[in-house]
Amino acid sequence: MRPDQIQPEQYDVQLSEKQAELNRVMDGLTLPEMEVFASKASHYRMRAEFRIWHDGDDLFYAMFDSADPRTPIRTDQFLAASEQINQLMPALLDAVRDVPVLRHKLFQVDFLTTTTGEALISLLYHKPIDEEWHSAAKTLYKDFPACHFIGRSRKKKQVLSRDFVMETLTVNGQKFHYQQVENSFTQPNAGINEKMLEWALDVTRHASGDLLEMYCGNGNFSIPLARHFDRVVATEISKVSVNSAQLNIAINGMDNVQVVKMASEDVSAALNGDAELPKSLQQAGVKELSPSVVLVDPPRAGLDDATVELIRKVDGILYISCNPLTLKANLDALSSTHKVVRYAMFDQFPYTHHVETGVYLQRIV
């Protein structure tokens, strides 16, 4: 996204265009009225990545247009990023500009911020980082007390204090706390994430029994939804995300959620009876699980056939999608057994073609 594409005065227009495009993609399906959740028109992204451009004595953040990837677009401020990121951008450059060991071959800066004022800044280099760098970087840590710093270069990572932030989300007036680790997946738009969680709680408010969740990440959905269910068994392939989910479950005081490190394809094969039930799923009590709802939040590729067959066996399906095309294909496959009773669009990524969709399906009686 180019900085000049962020035009808050045009936000309502682009939101309407996204609605129309999503309905076009979903044409042919029987759907209820779309629920639309708008983003803030600016300062909505809690994380951002910028290239660093060196031009003689000058040093600035740069972004690139996919149509002209060789020409840097100077980016002194970025309206999509949180206000905290915009405050940190010039201050950080001022701090490294005249420190050769911090400036030399610095090619990228990644920011991760929270709604509660924490920030994690990753400095990426085309050179080895050593003790001289570490010593100089300690000064940054002293000058930016609300920030944590990481240096990265060719598979080497130096952490000055810690490599995560703690985010707090408010969902229906209740606060939930999440560890968010550098370089791992987190929802970038905190405001929309809160709306997604509130919507998920609303559509499952009459649910009971157990919840099976696949692609659980750091427990983003698992933890608020746990209060609607007797037990939650959640699966995730990323070791970093599993570790964060287990920590987040503990700090939020949830005693009915268990996370298993396993790929969705392996979970589906085991629960469909096509493979032996792994010990980790047995220990999580999957044999005794009676899910009334299954929650899936897959990557852009959508659900594989085995997972579609697995979730078809459950009465309620909560599907969060980042790709309307694969969502449409999966809904076509599920249409013989389930109907969509809630349908929502979440504008997670304003001013881009990307859209997040939520659907809740119930078994056809």
Comparing CA positions, the residue from 271, 164, 160, 280 lying closest to residue 218 is 164
Cα angle 218, 220, 221 (rounded to 5 degrees) comes to 130
Residue 309 bears catalytic tag: no
302 near 321, Cβ under 8 Å? yes
Place of tokens 């905190």: 190
Catalytic residue among 147, 213, 236, 322: 322
Catalytic residue among 118, 213, 236, 356: 356
Could you give phi then psi for residue 6, rounded to 5 degrees? Answer: -90, 100
264 near 304, Cβ under 8 Å? yes
264 near 307, Cβ under 8 Å? yes
Residue 118 bears catalytic tag: no
Instruction: Report the distance separating Cα 271 and Cα 235, nearest Å.
Output: 13
129 near 151, Cβ under 8 Å? yes
What are the structure tokens assigned to 208, written together? 């009971």
Residue 337 DSSP SS3:
coil
Instruction: Report the distance separating Cα 215 and Cα 297, nearest Å.
Output: 6
119-125: strand order across its sheet:
68-74, 58-65, 47-55, 106-113, 119-125, 147-153, 156-159
What are the structure tokens assigned to 137, written together? 């970087």
Comparing CA positions, the residue from 291, 267, 278 lying closest to residue 214 is 267
358 near 318, Cβ under 8 Å? yes
| Catalytic positions, written as ranges | 322, 356
